[in-house]
Amino acid sequence: MLGAKDFGIDLGTNYIRIYMPGSAIITEPNIVLYHSGTQAIAAIGSRAEKLLSLDSEKYMQLFIKENGVLDYTTAKDTLAFIVRHYQPLSFLLHPDLLMAIPHGSSVIERKAIRDLCIQAGFNEKGLYFIDELLAAAIGAGQPVLDPVGSMVINIGGGNTQAGVFSLGGLVCSGSLHKGGRALSRQIMEYVRKQYGIMIDISTAERAKMRIGSLLPQDMEIDQVTLNGRNMQTGMPDAAVVTTEEMREAINPVVTEIVDCIYQVLEQTPPDLASDLIENGVLATGGAVQMHGLIELIEERTHLKINLAKHTSDAVIRGVQKVMQDPSAWNGVYSDLLQ
Ligand SMILES: Nc1ncnc2c1ncn2[C@@H]1O[C@H](COP(=O)(O)OP(=O)(O)OP(=O)(O)O)[C@@H](O)[C@H]1O
Ligand SMILES: [Mg+2]
């Protein structure tokens, strides 16, 4: 029977999520550290975060995904690290893998991902892929196999994806290599231009979550102090930035995200569109929690947007469901896995 027995993995821009049957889902911050000297991988996840804070000179941080695009070498090293360090049965040399892959990946990209998984040590014959958006839909409980139209959106750290499913197939979809991290980059860029201060991405992310809002005048606290480095003097410095300023800074990217979703609706056949009007759209991915984003999408699309119960974990939960009961997902499974 089809099915990966050992590992389910979602390599996200912000988080690495791992499912192994019999264990709870593991969520690690997507931090991959190499030894500066030997260039060998030193640690991933929260342990890497800790090492970096103790001795940043000794290590070099690389990213699996930048602007939503996979870096193949870093991804391969990370997967090899997972094979060596996360397997409860470490004698299993070549474990099976069900991996969520970016929505809209081309055949060539899929082939490259397959090759890197094999090089990382996974079992060539037990290697399966599932489209991230489909996994998010399954994980969030959308009735993708039913003869109705159901729409899911997934806005993560580096990607926005939207699609309409019916009878286990994808009817239409769209994607953009921008998500929550692009919003934080807009804030960094704004502070650099407006105040001449460089802040790092995690400072921008924290500020965005704390006082960021796309709706006017609805935050109790509406300004925040951002610590960084003055670009002229090189000295530590800080800028006080308001919710209003942040909204202006991130608005162009928000518009791109909302447009991407709208364009999928434009392609939706009328009979399925009526199902969406009736049942609404399910929103997954961490960045859908951005204050006011759901309201903006509703305003633009005139559809009810329902937040999934486990927004951030939807993809890996979908992977988990498929691994737990592969025969139930046979229809979509054979289509999307190769
Ligand atoms: N409360 C919040 N307000 C605003 N943004 C949030 C909030 N919580 C999480 N986010 C954003 O969600 C993003 C992470 O989402 P998620 O965990 O779905 O990403 P990912 O799966 O790692 O990335 P991707 O699938 O795009 O490669 C980050 O950009 C983070 O800033
Ligand atoms: Mg994701």
> How far is the centre of ligand 2, averaged over its atoms, from the C-alpha of 313 (Å)?
8
**For the domain 7-134+314-336, what is the CATH superfamily, name and number?**
ATPase, nucleotide binding domain (3.30.420.40)
Topology alike, domains 7-134+314-336 and 143-178+253-307: yes
- Backbone angles phi and psi of 97, in degrees to 5: -145, 135
> How far is the centre of ligand 1, averaged over its atoms, from the C-alpha of 285 (Å)?
6
Residue carrying structure tokens 């759901």: 294
Higher pLDDT, residue 63 or 264: 264
Indicate the range of 206-220, 235-249, 279-293, 320-334 predicted with least confidence.
320-334
Extents of the domains making up the chain: 7-134+314-336, 143-178+253-307, 180-250
Ligand 1 first shell, C-beta below 6 A: 12-15, 65, 68, 156-159, 179-181, 205, 208-209, 285-287, 289-290, 312
Looking at residue 146, its amino acid is D
Looking at residue 274, its amino acid is S
Q: What is the pLDDT of residue 93?
A: 79
**143-178+253-307: CATH topology:** Nucleotidyltransferase; domain 5 (3.30.420)
**For the domain 180-250, what is the CATH superfamily, name and number?**
ATPase, substrate binding domain, subdomain 4 (3.90.640.10)
> How far is the centre of ligand 2, averaged over its atoms, from the C-alpha of 19 (Å)?
14
Q: DSSP E strands: which ranges in the chain?
A: 7-11, 15-19, 26-29, 32-35, 41-44, 59-62, 65-66, 69-70, 97-101, 127-131, 150-155, 160-166, 169-176, 197-198, 223-230, 236-242, 281-284, 305-307
Residues 6+ apart with CB under 8 A from 56: none
pTM, rounded to two decimals: 0.94
Ligand with an atom nearest the CA of residue 68: 1
> How far is the centre of ligand 1, averaged over its atoms, from the C-alpha of 234 (Å)?
31
The C-alpha atoms of residue 14 and residue 286 are separated, in whole angstroms, by: 9
pLDDT digits (tens, 9 = 90+) for 31-83: 999 999 888 999 999 999 999 888 888 999 988 887 778 899 999 999 999 99
DSSP bridge partners of 47? none
pLDDT digits (tens, 9 = 90+) for 158-180: 999 999 999 988 999 999 999 99
